[in-house]
Amino acid sequence: MTMKNGALAPTGSACPQKVEILFREALQGAYGALDWLPLADGAIHRFHVPGDRQGSCNGWYVLFGDGTPAGAFGSWKAGEVRHWSSRGEVTALEAEQMRQRIEQARRQREAEQHQRQQQASEYAVWRWENAHRADPAHPYLHAKQVRSYGLRQHRDELLVPLYLDGVLVNLQRIGADGSKRFLRGGRITGCYSPLGNITPGRRLYVCEGWATGASIHESSGSPVACAMNASNLKPAAVALRTKYGDLVELVIAGDDDRQTPGNPGRTSATAAALAAGALVTFPNWPADCPPSLTDFNDLARWRLAHE
């Protein structure tokens, strides 16, 4: 046997324990085919759920092999919990033991995540303080036709700062080829990168990408909070509403993914506006504008090319 996903992966003619096979059948009934066997050691293990993002380990399980074999499993991403017993039923004692194990795993996971986020925040501050002002001719800025607005640069990477309650917690690094990466372990949810000064009485736009925010800021003169991606639009908007209340006019400037099924840009922006009690706006596409364009930066660059 070898180890895979914290479990046993068959490598030869060795015969695995029956309880492990039965428990894996339960897991496969929920998640599909798995090429490893669980460990009946009473410890919490994480695993990759088929269909989730590559490299993620959102699945978890605990399997007790002593006494009457029993276990539980689920997905932290989906928030589900399922119980299993070799008898086909789970006693109250078994369920309580598993509940305690799950709670312990949750606390440990949160503590580990907090530690990773703190380390990423400290590194972000160090990297930001030791970087120089962004080159206005950086290929990404040139391609997007926007100013640097205070961004910094390390080698050929632009550094976009993400803040949470005024504290620098993460950096988005943008390469010369436009590739984007956050700091490993850094927090994203609820964070944003500001453009301009957010002050009471002013309109505040919330958008997805930084270049989109730069175009909105340049054309409107209003401050912008860049949530960095569609999934963070709602958390960032809600955090800003909580912080500023009705002192600002909050407007979600959404992407318009017209060629993507379900239009995730519009869907996410609308959900964010409803959750934060904000207005919502989308690009007003000219009749001859190609449908491949999706955001306010695309629209600004198209207009420049057709003036």
Q: Is residue 171 part of a domain?
A: no
Q: Residue 306 is part of a domain; what is its CATH number?
A: 3.40.1360.10
Do both 194 and 307 map to the same domain? yes
What domain range includes position 83?
2-90
- Note the pLDDT tens digit of each residue in 150-188: 999 999 999 999 999 999 999 999 999 999 999 999 999
DSSP letter assigned to residue 37: B
- d(CA 40, CA 276) in angstroms, rounded, equals 45
Closest CA to 19 of 72, 74, 60, 63: 63
* Among candidate residues 182, 198, 270, the one with its CA nearest the CA of residue 241: 198
- Domain finish residue from 46, 64, 90: 90
Tokens of 102: 């799950």
The answer to the question of residue 241 being in a domain is: yes
Which residues, 6+ apart, have CB-to-CB distance to 288 below 8 Å?
Answer: none
Domain tally, the chain? 2
Note whether 196 and 84 are same-domain residues: no
pTM: 0.77
In a domain, 279, yes or no: yes
Report if residue 156 sits inside a domain: no
Average pLDDT of every residue of the chain: 91
| Spatial CA neighbour of 152 closest among 133, 135, 170 | 133
d(CA 302, CA 181): 26
Among candidate residues 47, 65, 90, the one where a domain is terminated? 90
Between CA 15 and CA 8 the distance in angstroms is 11
Task: Calculate the alpha carbon distances from 89 to 19, 40, 70, 84, 172 in Å.
Answer: 14, 18, 9, 7, 48
Tokens of 194: 């500001």
* Residue ending a domain, choose from 90, 125, 158: 90
Q: What is the pLDDT of residues 36-84, one digit of tens each?
A: 999 998 888 999 998 887 778 889 999 888 777 888 999 888 888 899 9
User: Is residue 185 included in any domain, yes or no?
Assistant: no
Using one digit for the tens of pLDDT, what is the confidence trace for 240-273? Answer: 999 999 999 999 999 999 999 999 999 999 999 9
User: Is position 205 within any domain?
Assistant: yes
Asked whether residue 177 is domain-assigned, the answer is: no
Residue 131's alpha-carbon distances to 113, 128, 159, 172, in angstroms, are: 26, 5, 8, 13
Has residue 83 been placed in a domain?
yes
